[in-house]
Structure 1
Amino acid sequence: MKLLLTSSGISNDSIRNALVDLLGKPIAESSALYIPTAIYPFPGGAAMAWRLIHGPLCELGWKSLGVLELTALPSIQEDCWVPMLQETDALLVNGGDPLYLCHWMRQSGLADLLPSLLSETVYVGVSAGSMAAAATFGETYLDPRRGSGEAFTSEDIVFATPQGEISRTLVTAQGVGLVDFALIPHLDHEDHLDASLTNAEKWAARLPVPTYAIDDQTAIKLIDGVVEVVSEGHWKRFTPEGNTRQ
């Protein structure tokens, strides 16, 4: 399988080069399908989806680009969309709510197709799109929404920030199982105070698998299970044995 798991997309030349390497040809000769589904559970999600379709990931210069909306697929015959998926070079899975995304990846049938697709197609995850690739993932919420129908466990955690303590609910759920580690995106980002290095360690300690905390200048590149960290920023790998719950 070929995957490129990012925090914020193709944010620097190193990550772009990793994408080209996975594709095996220039982006200008490659086709892509963009999945915006994860953004819809947020207020204004439809408008955000439109902005993301016109954002940097979709405007890399692809030879062709389509939108694959997972919520529509259960009502569409497979022969209308599966061949298109099989012929595409890259699947661009954008961010939002990983719990909602995982639900629709399963409901649509995409999760079952991915293991066979990814011998040729490159899975490019952004934020929640990267988190959902794991067998188990954790995500923090102010108020977890149960509308996805997905089962999860939750725990309230207090995180320390420069502005004072903040309370979040850490949700742990089953991803689609493409990789055997978890990912925490947006490490040390000013808009994601629960993902500071100290807080990421506390977060990772609740997960039963190795966990990579990566900033927006870092990506995880995988080819047939071999992991390579591609970074012009900073990151840290936590292991279950090396973490103590705090």
Structure 2
Amino acid sequence: MTDHQVPEIFSRQRRRLRDQRASYRQARVSDPANWLSRVMAEDAIERIDFVRLEPKRVWLAGDLSGTLERYFNSTGADVVAPPLASVDEELPLDGGPFDLAISLDRLGSVNDLPGALIHLRNALAPGGMMIAMMVGGGSLPALRSAMLAADGDRPAPRLHPQVESRSATGLLERAGFSRQVVDEHGVTVRYPDLGKLVSDLRDQALTAVLARGGPALSKAALKRAEAAFSAQADDEGRIAERFEILTLTGWR
């Protein structure tokens, strides 16, 4: 019997460096973007209140805005929130068992997503709940269009493959969760130019960490990308970019 080999789609080193850069920008840059984390966190709080869950121990990753940590501190819960760059969901979680595990936009860049979900489930106490959110399929259409224009006839891999909602339920079942719930909703953000979008992605650890991504854009390719992005502007000169938030919820 041979061991199952997980394809290396994402570079763990690049992921760690990306997360370190995002943490630095959150701490040092004036008014860094963390709106996606805030939107996810507020949604998670609504879900927790809806099921009337009162966790005593919580594992939390990706809370860039600090919204969830402040919420749980107000309830008196014990929160384990490791630094962004130290979180590796492809390894067992330390400090369990937890009544609740929350992952905000972390699972979209792991090579072994089923394994990461199993680790999250194993870290839960019986009856514990997991909420995992990520940027799902159909996201960033304006950026994808701009990158295709930049590369021309020979498009390079630049953006992450994304999980579709129809496959997420199967992933939860495979990981052993019960009472699986999968849903998605979209958020549209309007940008003045490509540079502002890229800055937002860097602030929020959303840039690509592909193991075999495309080469850096040349100056000419970057100009093509900027032009293609700006060509999608509305009457006010803003470009609408779409982020589809996929939420996976399961219980142990």
Structure possessing the higher radius of gyration over alpha carbons: 2
Specify which structure has the higher proportion of helix. 2
TM-score by length of 1: 0.25
